[in-house]
Chains A and B, each alone.
Chain A
Amino acid sequence: MRRLTMLDTAPKLPDPDTVFVTLVRAHIDLSANDSRRLDAALVLLLANHIGDIAVLEQAIEEARRAVRAPTGAAEDEGTPP
């Protein structure tokens, strides 16, 4: 019987600031459209690297929960409840 692999959300990055800067820098000089495609391409590459639909699904669940949680920020306007 195969156990479901869990999404690991424990901190694993020794230098989180560099990871953030590297992701942001990847978008420099890209149009809005290309920027979205870059993110999509990144996710696809990393999904393939992970190689596990269960992990991917849990990550999607976490991400959706995060972006739909109300914050009162200006970005919330227009987000359906």
Chain B
Amino acid sequence: MPATYVNPRFPFRRPPELDGKGGSARVAIVGAGLVGLTLALDLARHGIATVVIDDDDTVSFGSRAICFAKRSLEIYDRLGLGQKLLDKGVTWKVGKVFFGSSLAYAFDLLPEDGHRMPAFINLQQYYVEEWLVEACERTGLVDLRWKSRLTSLEPRADGVCLAIETPEGAYVLEAEWLAACDGARSTVREALGLLFIGQVFRDRFLIADVVLKTDLAFPAERWFWFDPPFHPGQSVLLHKQPDGMWRIDFQLGWEADPEEEKRPERVVPRIQAMLGKDVAFDLEWVSVYTFRCRRLDRFRHGRIVFVGDSAHQVSPFGARGGNGGIQDADNLAWKLAAVLQGTAPEALLDSYDAERIPAADENILHSTRATDFITPKTEAARSYRDAVLLLAREHDFARRMVNSGRLSQPHAYAASPLSTPDADEWSGGPPPGAPCLDAPIDDGFLLNRLGNKPVLLVFGDVAVPEIPGLGVVRVPVDGVAAARYAARPHTAYLIRPDQHVAARFRDPLPERIAAALARLWGRNDAEASRCAA
């Protein structure tokens, strides 16, 4: 049993449907994991009620997704949980790559000051899920239904009909929208018979969460070994977690027997070889995994939307699974809320596919390449890999080829239908589709000022037209923010509810802003020009 964390058990509450009441929901979410709970909370922040069903009654067992990237932290900050994650998590930004017993090179992920959030924190997934549950409950808008299993579903033109089984009986729920957040083995995806195709990697990895009882001078950094003396021919990854816990990943190779490798008699000697025989530790959690990189052809199927691992799966190198799923939820919540509230046409949801499929492909590409680097498939590949690591000790060009996981970066929606292409001259600053850059403002930070509604970010003391449904955030034209946004007097950025850039102007004329705002909401050109008129 884990010693540092006890899984909470959430009560099954008898749903009204079992007594002939209720029966409908605006949004149903299947899966109360990291992604489903994030989506539910984000929708609640937009005023949308959800019913969330989950066949279990607790949070994740084991630390699982431990690396929360800057963009995820910024999303959680918007949702009101950012400080909690920062306070508990282990902040890190330095990574070290070893080849054999010597350092190949070190890297710093966030060399720049003036951001509220660090490049990464490490935090066990169960903490985040537990806090999400609490935050969801506090909104009064999230109906969390534990011990509730989806048994079948029927897609309709105007919604989805769900059959749900509980300890006290079965019932039917009609939802206008269904978000499938039920993970890599998605029941919803199976029920629809959708193909989930991609690459299988012939390799196995052992995860061990270890609580050290001896003080070791490991800093809060990500350490990755290629071919270390204590685990020859394979790779090892070390991460620090809260509660004095360390995550160690051992590459095992395809021939390893997963059941055998999970036994403490096998695991303990591996860790002793790494840390030394004198180091005392407890094994908190052990798991052996393989992985795939694959995705659905489309993420939206009528009124059913796939979010997170149910839509796409990546290798763990680069921390792109959990962070990718959180960004999916961030992308979907405001759009779904706007459609349900009548602010935007249903077509706005087409942009979820247009934006998140390229994001998933980017994550799959990076995590596939990292996997190929870590597990060379041919002798030639191994030679090139080793040559890169050898050259990396002296040469920056080779360091850029070392791939122990290209760590999760937010996806810039470069070709988004919601973006208005630049019409002015720009050099620098986040282009349309990119996530907003943080900067210090007064005694706080820019991202905290942007909120979750469309805003016009205006630089300098310039008069701006009043446009219905558009807030204004004003920042000085001579500060860090102005430099990061390549701003001059009169410069304005139109920011989406998910804090991505929709458009930017050197001269914010009302008709240009109105047209870009209409486009942000997914209105077609004719509608957009009518709004601008």
Within 8 A of A (CB), among B345-377: 366, 369, 372-373, 376
Q: Which of A12, A16, A32, A76 contacts B401 (CB 8 A)?
A: A16
CB neighbors of B among A1-57 (8 A): 9-13, 16-17, 19-21, 23-24, 27-28, 30, 32, 35, 38-39
Asked if A73 and B100 sit within 8 Å, CB to CB, the answer is yes
The reply to whether A27 and B378 form a contact with Cβ atoms under 8 Å apart is yes
Question: Of B102, B393, B396, B397, which contacts A72 at CB under 8 A?
Answer: B102
Contact (Cβ within 8 A) B373 A71? no
| Chain B residue at smallest Cβ distance from A15 | B400
Interface contact B378-A73, CB-CB below 8 Å: no
- Interface pair B406/A17, CB less than 8 Å apart: yes
| Residues of the B chain whose Cβ atoms lie less than 8 Å from the Cβ of A32 | 379
Does B525 sit at the interface, judged by CB under 8 A?
A: no
Known: A72-B101, A72-B102, A74-B233. A20 touches B380 (CB 8 A): no
Do A24 and B387 contact each other (CB < 8 Å), given the known contacts A17-B403, A71-B99? no
Interfacial chain B residues near A9, Cβ < 8 Å: 395-397
B269 is an interface residue with CB less than 8 A from chain A: no
How far is it, in angstroms, between the C-alpha of A76 and the C-alpha of B395 when the chains are bound?
20
Are B397 and A27 in contact, with the CB atoms below 8 A? no
Interface range for A: 20 to 34
Please give, as numbers and ranges, the residues of chain B lying within 8 Å of A24 by CB-CB distance. Answer: 372, 376, 378, 380-381, 384
Select one of B100, B102, B394, B396 contacting A66, CB under 8 A. B394
B225 to A, closest residue via Cβ: A73
Q: Which of A57-81 contact B (CB under 8 A)?
A: 62-63, 65-67, 69-76
The verdict on A23 contacting B384 (CB below 8 Å), with A16-B397, A66-B391 known, is yes
Q: Which residues of B contact A10 (CB under 8 A)?
A: 396-397
Nearest CB of A to B522, in Å? 32
Alpha-carbon gap, A65 to B393, bound state (A): 11
Q: A71-B99, A74-B232 are in contact. Are A11 and B400 (CB under 8 A)?
A: yes
In the complex the two chains form, what is the Cα distance from A19 to B388 in whole Å?
Answer: 12
Q: Is the CB of A20 within 8 A of B397?
A: no
A71 touches B102 (CB 8 A): yes
Scoring B376, B391, B403 by chain A CB atoms within 10 A of each residue's CB, the highest score goes to B391
Interface pairs (24), CB distance under 8 Å: A9-B396, A10-B397, A11-B397, A12-B397, A17-B406, A20-B369, A20-B384, A21-B372, A24-B378, A28-B378, A30-B380, A32-B379, A35-B379, A66-B393, A67-B387, A71-B101, A71-B102, A72-B102, A72-B229, A73-B99, A73-B227, A74-B227, A74-B232, A74-B233
